Homo-oligomer: A and B are copies of this chain.
Amino acid sequence: MFIEIITIGDELLIGQVVDTNSAWMGKELNKVGFEVIRVTSVRDREDEIIEAVDTAMKRVDIVLMTGGLGPTKDDITKYTLCKYFGTELVFSEMVYKNIERILANRISMNPLNKSQALVPKDYCTVINNRVGTASISWFEKNEKVLVSMPGVPQEMKTNMTDEIIPRLLSRFNVETIFHKTYLIKNHPESVLAIALTDWENQLPESVKLAYLPKAGIVRLRLTGRGLDEAAIKERVLKEGAKLYDILGEDVLDENDSPLEEIIGKILRGQGLTVATAESCTGGNIAARITSIPGSSLYFKGSVVAYANEVKKELLHVSENSLIKFGAVSEEVVKEMAFGAMDSLKTDCAVAVSGIAGPDGGTIDKPVGTIWIAAAYGKKVLTLKQEVDFGRELNVERASNNALLLLQKILK
């Protein structure tokens, strides 16, 4: 069952806000068998919204929209949809009560909030938004469904999960889609594709393959589609299993989990604790590890040591090593890793020190030079990252490499 998404707001087009809603919606809808085939982002203009809605409604039976429902003047989605469906706005006591409840203990009701209690009169089921003041409009006309939701990601997510997806499932019959994503390390995309040529050529028609490379890791996604759920699943898993014969331990995971979740499982499973010692990654690895609920079971903390004095004081890096080898060196990251284990009393640790850029490079150590260490007990592994991909990506690759090195040493 095909769906199109329309996200509305000038801020998306001028790049002030990245549209993360459609990706999240695509993922959740896919899990239950709906397939998003197009996402369109348009400005807060009546004619452009109507044109986008109209062409989408002609192509598919379900259109989901986010954005343009705020209390302020620039938000026109609700009025525009009334025009499109040929109806008008009327006051809703139910929505008004919900707005009162949401605003309680925060701010007092004002005319703008009150205007959010206006809802479309015909063709529309109004759904109360339990986490925000903008209500959801579920339009239905000529067997087609259009749902307009708030653009605030948290509000959209709550309402999609609690209201919209369950209602879509009871309203439409869906084909099964089954995805399985394998995380592959140590293989640049084209090298991987060569290694997998024979396997790829023997894949059945009903199983699609996609390569998704990012910051040193390639995700391989297998997708099966059809009506017989069990058969599709079996087919995809059978093909996926063959990857282990070809790639062995370079298949890191098959649950499309982020690296930090994979590491978290390993640490929990082995009952180990971890710390990070970060210079150029600046707390990114710690932030990723702690993005996983329950990480307090294995993560004790981190020392972000931007200044050399912090490396010395809190991580016991020797003055001598800093002078002799420099802060960006194999010797210093080793000492940082062991220093973190010692200071934070953990079983293992990762450490990173490098030149993220854009400035600070030298001839010996150009921008992009990053040393990484993972220590466990008395063992230590190190890695030198060398190419400059820009500050942000350098940091992301270093974080990935640090987590991969930790995974390797724990094996």
Contact = CB atoms under 8 A, between A and B. Distances in A.
Interface of A: 9-20, 22-28, 30, 35-44, 48, 52, 55, 70-74, 106-107, 110-113, 133, 152, 154, 157, 179, 181, 188-191, 193-194, 200, 208-214, 219, 221, 223, 256, 276, 278, 280-287, 289-291, 293-296, 299-307, 309-310, 313-314, 343-345, 357-360, 389-393, 395
Contacts of A106: 188
A191 B107 contact: yes
19 contacts: A10-B221, A11-B221, A13-B39, A15-B24, A16-B219, A17-B23, A18-B19, A38-B41, A39-B41, A74-B211, A111-B194, A133-B190, A154-B393, A282-B290, A286-B287, A291-B391, A301-B310, A309-B345, A313-B344
A390 B172 CA distance: 30
Contacts of A190: 71-72, 107, 110, 112-113, 133
A284 B289 CA distance: 11
Given A19-B19, A291-B395, 11 more contacts: A10-B221, A12-B39, A38-B40, A39-B41, A55-B55, A276-B283, A282-B289, A291-B391, A293-B391, A294-B359, A303-B304
B42 A37 contact: yes
Nearest to A109: B190
A74 B260 CA distance: 28
A208 B306 CA distance: 43
A54 to B, nearest CB: 12
B37 A48 contact: yes
Contacts of A345: 309, 313
A304 B306 contact: no
Contact of A30 (B14, B152, B301): B14
Given A15-B30, A71-B189, A212-B16, A309 B300 contact: yes
A209 B73 contact: yes
Contact of A19 (B23, B43, B44, B189): B23
Contacts of A276: 283, 304
A301 B306 contact: yes
Contacts of A290: 280, 282-283, 304, 306
